[in-house]
Amino acid sequence: MSNPASDAPAGERDVALACAILKQRFGERLQTGKSIREQHGHTLSWLPNQPPDAVIFANDSQDVADIVSVCAEHKCPVIAFGVGSSLEGHLNAPQGGVCIDMSQMNQVLEVQADDLSVRVQPGVTRKALNTYLRDTGLFFPIDPGADASLGGMAATRASGTNAVRYGTMKDNVLSLRAVMADGREINTASRAKKTSAGYDLTRLLVGSEGTLGIITELTVKLHGIPESIAGGVCHFPDVESACRATIQTIQYGIPIARIELLDVSQVIASNAYSKLGLKELPTMFVEFHGSDSATAEQSELFGEIVRDCGGSDFEWTKDEAARNKLWQARHDAYWAARQMRPEAEAVITDACVPISRLADCVEETRKDIEANNFLAPMVGHVGDGNFHTMVLIDMNSPKEVAAAKEFSERLSARAIAMGGTCTGEHGVGQGKTRYLRDELGDTVDFMAMIKQAFDPDNILNPGKIF
Amino acid sequence: MSNPASDAPAGERDVALACAILKQRFGERLQTGKSIREQHGHTLSWLPNQPPDAVIFANDSQDVADIVSVCAEHKCPVIAFGVGSSLEGHLNAPQGGVCIDMSQMNQVLEVQADDLSVRVQPGVTRKALNTYLRDTGLFFPIDPGADASLGGMAATRASGTNAVRYGTMKDNVLSLRAVMADGREINTASRAKKTSAGYDLTRLLVGSEGTLGIITELTVKLHGIPESIAGGVCHFPDVESACRATIQTIQYGIPIARIELLDVSQVIASNAYSKLGLKELPTMFVEFHGSDSATAEQSELFGEIVRDCGGSDFEWTKDEAARNKLWQARHDAYWAARQMRPEAEAVITDACVPISRLADCVEETRKDIEANNFLAPMVGHVGDGNFHTMVLIDMNSPKEVAAAKEFSERLSARAIAMGGTCTGEHGVGQGKTRYLRDELGDTVDFMAMIKQAFDPDNILNPGKIF
Give the pLDDT band of residue B5 (cuts 50, 70, 90).
very low
Distant-in-sequence, close-in-space partners of A166: CB < 8 Å, separation ≥ 6: A141, A142, A172, A223, A257
CA nearest to B174 within chain A = A354
- The CATH code of the domain that includes A322 is 3.40.462.10
A166/A97 same-domain check: no
pLDDT computed for residue B11 by the predictor: 52
- In this complex, which of B114, B294, B422 lies closest to A294 when CB atoms are compared? B294
B338/B417 same-domain check: yes
Distant-in-sequence, close-in-space partners of A459: CB < 8 Å, separation ≥ 6: A8, A68, A71, A72, A75, A76, A77, A78, A97, A181
- In this complex, which of B137, B199, B226 lies closest to A450 when CB atoms are compared? B199
Q: Do B194 and A163 touch (CB under 8 A)?
A: yes
| CB distance B219 to B191 below 8 Å | yes
Average confidence (pLDDT) over B112-126: 97
The sheet carrying A256-262 orders its strands as A315-317, A228-235, A283-290, A256-262, A378-381, A386-393, A345-348
| CB distance B460 to B98 below 8 Å | no
Question: Roughly what angle, to the nearest 10 degrees, separates helices A443-454 and A433-440?
Answer: 120
Q: Which of A16, A44, A52 is nearest to A334 (CA)?
A: A44
| CB distance B231 to B317 below 8 Å | yes
Task: Please indicate, yes or no, if residue A279 is contained in any of the structural domains.
Answer: yes
Q: Is B27 exposed, middle or buried (0-12, 13-18, 19+ CB in 10 A)?
A: exposed
What is the per-residue pLDDT across A159-171, written as a single tens digit (0 to 9) for each?
999 999 999 999 9
A24/A88 same-domain check: yes
pLDDT computed for residue A5 by the predictor: 44
A116/A265 same-domain check: no
Task: Please indicate, yes or no, if residue A436 is contained in any of the structural domains.
Answer: no
B248/B216 same-domain check: no
Is a pLDDT exceeding 70 seen at residue A107?
yes
Q: What residues of chain A, 15 to 44, have a C-beta less than 8 Å from chain B?
A: none
pLDDT computed for residue B332 by the predictor: 93
- Cα dihedral B160, B163, B168, B172, rounded to 10, equals -120
pLDDT computed for residue A45 by the predictor: 77
Give the pLDDT band of residue A47 (cuts 50, 70, 90).
confident
Average confidence (pLDDT) over B315-340: 93
Rounded to whole angstroms, how far apart are CA atoms A332 and B147? 49
Q: Is B390 on the interface with A (CB under 8 A)?
A: no
DSSP track, B412-443: HHHHHHTT-BS-SSS--TTTSHHHHHHHHTTH
Percent of chain B with pLDDT over 70: 98
Task: Please indicate, yes or no, if residue A198 is contained in any of the structural domains.
Answer: yes
Number of other residues whose CB lies within 10 A of the CB of residue A367 = 10
A81/A211 same-domain check: no
Q: Do A354 and B442 touch (CB under 8 A)?
A: no
Q: Is B361 on the interface with A (CB under 8 A)?
A: no
Average confidence (pLDDT) over A319-332: 92
Residue by residue, what is the 3-state secondary structure of A10-28? HHHCCHHHHHHHHHHHHHH
B37/B186 same-domain check: no
| CB distance B153 to B207 below 8 Å | no
pLDDT computed for residue A11 by the predictor: 52
Q: Which of A146-150, A252-256, A280-284, B353-357 is least confident?
A: A252-256
Q: Which of A376-385, B246-255, B281-290 is least confident?
A: B246-255
| CB distance A261 to A281 below 8 Å | no
B337/B203 same-domain check: no
| CB distance A256 to A164 below 8 Å | yes
CA nearest to A447 within chain B = B199
Strand boundaries in B320-419, DSSP class E? 345-348, 378-381, 386-393
Which among B175, B195, B416 is the top mutation candidate for probing chain A, defined by the most A β-carbons within 10 Å of its own β-carbon?
A: B195
The overall pTM is greater than 0.90: yes
| CB distance B221 to B116 below 8 Å | yes
Give the pLDDT band of residue B3 (cuts 50, 70, 90).
very low
In which region does residue A286 sit, left (phi positive, over 0), alpha (psi from -120 to 50) or beta (all else)? Answer: beta
Average confidence (pLDDT) over A265-288: 96
Query: Final residue of a domain: which of B224, B242, B257?
Result: B224
Rounded to whole angstroms, how far apart are CA atoms B266 and B217? 37
Task: Please indicate, yes or no, if residue B463 is contained in any of the structural domains.
Answer: no
A232/A188 same-domain check: no
Task: Please indicate, yes or no, if residue A439 is contained in any of the structural domains.
Answer: no
Give the pLDDT band of residue B4 (cuts 50, 70, 90).
very low
Average confidence (pLDDT) over A327-337: 93
- The CATH code of the domain that includes A158 is 3.30.465.10
Q: Do B193 and A426 touch (CB under 8 A)?
A: no
**CA of A29, closest CA in chain B: separation in Å?**
30
B211/B345 same-domain check: no
For chain A, the straight-line distance linking the first and the last C-alpha, in angstroms and rounded, comes to 11
Is a pLDDT exceeding 80 seen at residue B400?
yes
Q: What is the mean pLDDT of chain B?
A: 95
Average confidence (pLDDT) over B353-381: 96
Distant-in-sequence, close-in-space partners of B44: CB < 8 Å, separation ≥ 6: B84, B85, B86, B87, B146, B334, B348
pLDDT computed for residue B193 by the predictor: 96
What is the per-residue pLDDT across A429-440, written as a single tens digit (0 to 9) for each?
999 999 999 999
pLDDT computed for residue B132 by the predictor: 98
Q: Is residue A80 helix, strand or coil?
A: strand
Number of other residues whose CB lies within 10 A of the CB of residue A38 = 13
Query: Final residue of a domain: which of A224, A245, A272?
Result: A224
**CA of B196, closest CA in chain A: separation in Å?**
5
Rounded to whole angstroms, how far apart are CA atoms B376 and B348? 9
Domain total for chain A?
Answer: 3
**CA of A35, closest CA in chain B: separation in Å?**
30
Query: Final residue of a domain: which of A186, A207, A224?
Result: A224
Task: Please indicate, yes or no, if residue B99 is contained in any of the structural domains.
Answer: yes
Task: Please indicate, yes or no, if residue A351 is contained in any of the structural domains.
Answer: yes
Q: How far is CA A396 from CA A340, A343, B263, in A?
A: 18, 10, 72
Is a pLDDT exceeding 70 seen at residue B8?
no
Q: Do A465 and B212 touch (CB under 8 A)?
A: no
**CA of A451, closest CA in chain B: separation in Å?**
9
Q: What residues of chain B, 235 to 254, have a C-beta less than 8 Å from chain A?
A: 247, 250-253
Tell me which residue range forms the domain holding B169.
Answer: 108-224
Q: Is A423 on the interface with B (CB under 8 A)?
A: yes
Q: Which of B314, B277, B308 is nearest to B295 (CA)?
A: B314
- The CATH code of the domain that includes A83 is 3.30.43.10
Average confidence (pLDDT) over A397-426: 97
Task: Please indicate, yes or no, if residue B436 is contained in any of the structural domains.
Answer: no
pLDDT computed for residue B43 by the predictor: 74
Q: How far is CA B356 from CA A454, B243, B389, in A?
A: 35, 8, 19
A262/A368 same-domain check: yes
What is the per-residue pLDDT across B258-300, written as a single tens digit (0 to 9) for each?
999 999 999 999 999 999 999 999 999 999 999 999 999 999 9
For B327-346, give one letter per residue: b (16+ CB within 10 A) or e: bebbbbbbebbbebeeebbb
| CB distance A386 to A351 below 8 Å | yes
Q: Is residue A183 helix, strand or coil?
A: coil
- What is the torsional sign of CA A178, A181, A183, A189? negative
B96/B122 same-domain check: no
Q: What residues of chain A, 155 to 214, have a C-beta less than 8 Å from chain B?
A: 156-159, 163, 167-168, 170-171, 180, 184, 186-201, 203-204, 206-208, 212
